[in-house]
A and B are shown apart, each in its own frame.
Chain A
Amino acid sequence: MPAATSPSTTPSTASPAPPRTSFAIDVPDVLLARVRAGDRAAFEQLYRCFERPVFTLALRICGDRDDASEVLQDTMLKLFDRIDDYRGSDGAPFWGWLRRIAVNEALMRLRRDRRLAQALPGDDILADDHMPPPAAAADAALLQRALAALPAATRSVLWLYHAEGHTHEEIAALMQRTPSFSKSQLARGTRRLRALLEPAPLTEAIHA
């Protein structure tokens, strides 16, 4: 039985920290077989299992609920079309396979809307920020608001690196940019995010 295990169990990334979008859903072989046979009820069952993770991933990257809804639709249509391509027998988790489709769809939407060109300026690679996030990062509403304030490409790099566990090389391939771009945006985006979450006086000091 192929399992849609948490990406945290997937040893496919070379990230300094393992992937973090943690949820685990077992996808029975018989359900996949029914979906492959075109069973609409089985497809709905599969959709219900993954609609929230896919929508959330799309929302984090796109930063907009309408876009995320479209990404969810397109991802699920691709799932329906390409279900034959997925083979659980090779040990690949179903969520890992579906997540790749969702990430590609989300980035494609940003690219189509010319938002993937929106990034923080500067090509030089800053020193890595190894400091822990500010306490305000524990507040989901504040963190989401700060993420939404980042340019789309910067936000995508941060999410793909920190939340999905992709390497800079993988991010560069996904975004059709260079690893240097990914590293630069990660460093700048992390600092900007920290600044947005820090109390005002410190934020002003950083901007000064």
Chain B
Amino acid sequence: MPDATHPQSPRPAGWNQAFAALPQEAPPARAWQTLSARLDARHARRARRWPAWLALAAALALVALLPLRHGGDRPANGATATRAAPVATVPRQQAPADARDAPVAAAQVAAANAPSRPAPADATSTPPSAAPADRVAKASPKPARQQPRATLAGPATEVARLDAAQDNAAATLQPLYAESARLEALLSLARDDRVASASAAVVADALDAQVASIDATLADPALDDARRLQLWRDRVEALRQAAGFEGTQRLLASQGHGDALLASVD
């Protein structure tokens, strides 16, 4: 008999009364802490998010000021360029050296913006995931290529012919050096390792690895000029892709798109 089964509870008059008599339930004890943490995370994420107009203005300013920055950096970086690229001390190489200094200057910008990246001991030990700055500073092909040239011995005409050929090659490479430096500077400014989604980090690492692989090949002093030119073109193209990718990520983040916003907090 049902009433005998539940002697202490009066039979409800209706379903509404039965439902209303159900006890309230308590949420998990840490529910507030979880909610508070989510609020903090959201607040931090919003604080990091650039407004779209600010991101656009920053990008335009970057494009406008980057050439000036490179032009102004060259004289001040002479000592560093000498240290990083011994060939710059050769007087006859002064004109090409300006272009070759540019990647070194970019390397300094990148190094200043990515202090946590470990510097490899030498060019051959550069890891694939090392920053472009490190790769340029440590694995730049210019010193390896120019070192044998300083000790080159032979008839004067042969030396002159080789010099002319190398000058032509340097003149061809000069725009690529400059473009590479510009892209590396842009990349170092656009990249923000604090806020990156997993997929974006994978793509960025893949592009970094591609550039590192090119740098490792460029470090070979036995490369001929044609191959070297092609590698520098590949390097510029890879950097262009990386810079474009990072710029897109920042733009998406400024517009609040989820994948670009994923950070360690979530």
Contact = CB atoms under 8 A, between A and B. Distances in A.
Interface of A: 17-18, 20-23, 40, 44, 47-48, 51-53, 55-56, 59-60, 65, 68-69, 72-73, 76-77, 80, 132-140, 143-144, 158-159, 162-163, 165, 190, 193, 199
A21 B36 CA distance: 27
Interface in B7-29: 9-28
Contacts of A77: 35, 38-39, 42
Contacts of A138: 6, 9-12, 18, 21
A125 B35 CA distance: 43
A132 B28 contact: no
A150 to B, nearest CB: 13
Contact of B13 (A47, A80, A132, A140): A132
Residue of A134, A137, A143 with most chain B CB atoms under a 10 A cut-off:
A137
Which 3 A-B pairs rank lowest in CB-CB distance, beginning with the nearest? A138-B9, A135-B2, A20-B20
Nearest to B25: A56
B19 A20 contact: yes
Contacts of B13: 132
B18 to A, nearest CB: 4
B6 A135 contact: yes
Nearest to B3: A135
A199 B20 contact: no
Given A47-B32, A190-B15, A163 B24 contact: no
Secondary structure at the A interface, as helix, strand, loop or mixed, is helix
B14 A51 contact: no
B220 to A, nearest CB: 56
A163 B16 contact: yes
B89 interface: no
Given A69-B27, A135-B3, A135-B5, A21 B18 contact: no
Interface string B212-248: 0000000000000000000000000000000000000
A65 B29 CA distance: 12
B34 interface: yes
B26 A135 contact: no
Contacts of B17: 20
Contacts of B18: 133, 137-138, 143, 162
Contacts of B12: 132-133, 137-138
B61 interface: no
A164 to B, nearest CB: 9
A139 B26 contact: no
Contacts of A190: 15
5 contacts: A20-B20, A52-B24, A138-B11, A162-B15, A162-B19
Nearest to B4: A135
A47 B35 contact: yes
B31 interface: yes
B6 A136 contact: yes
B23 A132 contact: no
A47 B6 CA distance: 36
B21 A55 contact: no
A132 B10 CA distance: 12
A18 B14 CA distance: 12
A140 B20 CA distance: 10
A133 B21 CA distance: 13
A136 B2 CA distance: 7
Nearest to A75: B35
B27 A20 contact: no
Given A22-B20, A138-B11, A163-B16, A72 B36 contact: no
B24 A73 contact: no
A109 B17 CA distance: 27
Contacts of B31: 51, 55, 69, 72-73
